[in-house]
Amino acid sequence: MSPDEIYTTVKEIRDRARDRYQKKVSAVADFELPSLDGLGNARDAAEGHVASIGRVNPRPPGLVNNIAQGLKKLVGRALDWHIRDQVDFNRAVVRFMDTVIEVEAEQNSNLVRVARSVASLKETHEERYHELKGLIEHMSEQQDDMLRHWNQWRPAWEERLTASEISLLHSIREMEAGAREREERVREGEASFQTLVEYKHKQYLDALAKATDEIQDRSWNDIEKLKSQQEDLIHTELRLIRRRAAGGSAPSASAPVAPASAGGNEQAPAANSFPPLENFDYARFEERFRGREDYVARSQQFYLLRFRDCRRVLDLGCGRGEFLELLSKEGIEAQGVDLDADAVAACREKGLAVSQADLFQFLAEQPNGSLNGILCSHVVEHLAPARIAALVTTAAEKLAPGGLLAIETPNPACLATLAGDFFLDPTHVRPVPFNLLHFLYEEAGLGDIEIKELRMASEVIPEVMALDHVEGGEAFRKKFLGGLDYAILGRLRAS
């Protein structure tokens, strides 16, 4: 192809490429790309210069011009080796520029595609923007409404919040104070517990030492008590032997029979008399079941206070003489009478004034009004009922005006008496109610009558106190479980 044809062909290709690029650019509205016309013009100019290298300019026909054209062509061919590299370089530059134009065109195509995507995204974002704008406007209206309500509600809320904060602070302070108080109580409790443990431990050690000492003392006391009881038993046996030797040949069984046959030479009715008790040692029986002399003496302190102003006192059935000893120590003249030879011998060993006689006979021999006081302890329960009345009447006759008569006997109103000691003594006839003696006192002319219960059952039998825990038990105990014995006292009225 001739250079002109090549130039025309290249220009036609360039125009088609430009037309395609222009269509791509115009396909996107509001989108501008940098123009490639300047780059294309520069490429066209470079390509024109490349095509003109080594070419001879045309001249009009003619001999001279033809010779000149021939010479030019000859020189061009001669210099062809010299300009070959330049021609190659120029062609390479043109190809580079063509490549750049194609790359730029493709880049523009990509930018157009990106622009279309951006336009599509813009439309989507505009739609989303309008939606968000509406939502924001709605939220703004709601926010304004919330602000109005908040401004209305805020003062009350702040007031309640302040009150709640104050209450919370008070509660926290109270909790802290309570926690400190509890902590202090815990420390105090721990200290108290430690003190209590130490105190209890000390108490335990003290109690253990005390119990050990008590056991040792009780053991020694029991040994001494057993030794004393053995000595007392030996002494009692020796004393009884001495009494029997001093009293002659009186049988040991005669003592219990004497009260039933009391009355001197008169015999009691057959129904009220007792057959003799063979081989029954009443003195030893009394020693064992009535109690030791010191015990009986303590119980008769009750009478000492009432007989203290008397000048002459008679003890009917004086026994071992415990009451006579009390009167003797007070300087009161006292006389005793008992039928039992062993008892009389024991009293005489103590230097007491005692007669061995029937008490009715002895009492009858006393001058009327010669006595200031008469004690008859645990005798009437040995007598028949008819003899009890005679005893009270005779005793009243022997008393001076204002003289005191005291009779002690088991209390039949106390169930413990009837269930216990009364029927232990085989010489007891029957229990004597205090109402009977009260009546006999009044009939005999005695006044200022006093009835006193002695030896309370609750002291001798602690188990009866359990009745107090039962409904009505305390009243029952006081009425039916009072004194095991009773004393009735009365003074002779002045005529």
Average pLDDT for 372-398: 93
Percent of the chain with pLDDT over 90: 25
Residue 392: name the closest of 434, 347, 340, 452 by CA. Answer: 434
Using CA atoms, how far apart are residues 361 and 265, in angstroms rounded to an integer? 8
Sequence letter at residue 230:
Q
Query: Is pLDDT of 252 > 50?
Result: no
Residue 353's pLDDT is what? 93
Which tens digit of pLDDT belongs to each residue from 448-459?
999 999 988 887
Residue 138's pLDDT is what? 86
- What is the chain's Cα-based Rg? 76
**Phi-psi map region of 478: left, alpha, beta (phi>0 left; psi -120 to 50 alpha):** alpha
More confident residue, 188 or 297: 188
HSE value, Cβ hemisphere, 13 Å, CA-based, for 322: 18
Query: Is pLDDT of 254 > 60?
Result: no
The DSSP output letter for 420 is T
Q: Which residues contact 218 (CB under 8 A, 6 or more apart)?
A: none
Task: Assign 460 a pLDDT band (cuts: 50, 70, 90).
Answer: confident
- pTM of full prediction above 0.85: no
Ranges 101-110, 323-332, 481-490: which has the least confidence: 101-110
> Which tokens belong to 329?
């120590």
Using CA atoms, how far apart are residues 302 and 450, in angstroms rounded to an integer? 13
Task: Assign 410 a pLDDT band (cuts: 50, 70, 90).
Answer: very high
More confident residue, 227 or 212: 212
Average pLDDT for 45-68: 67
Sequence letter at residue 412:
P
Residue 432's pLDDT is what? 94
Using CA atoms, how far apart are residues 432 and 447, in angstroms rounded to an integer? 20
Residue 407's pLDDT is what? 96
Ranges 250-254, 339-343, 415-419: which has the least confidence: 250-254
Average pLDDT for 383-411: 94
Residue 33's pLDDT is what? 65
> Which tokens belong to 11?
């220009």
Three-state DSSP class for residue 244? helix
Which tens digit of pLDDT belongs to each residue from 138-181?
888 888 888 888 888 888 888 888 998 898 998 898 898 889 88
Domains and CATH numbers, the chain: 3-140 (no CATH), 249-492 (3.40.50.150)
Residue 296's pLDDT is what? 81
Using CA atoms, how far apart are residues 355 and 363, in angstroms rounded to an integer? 11
Q: Which residues contact 449 (CB under 8 A, 6 or more apart)?
A: 438, 441, 442, 488, 489, 490
HSE value, Cβ hemisphere, 13 Å, CA-based, for 238: 6
Task: Assign 482 a pLDDT band (cuts: 50, 70, 90).
Answer: confident
Using CA atoms, how far apart are residues 261 and 478, in angstroms rounded to an integer? 36
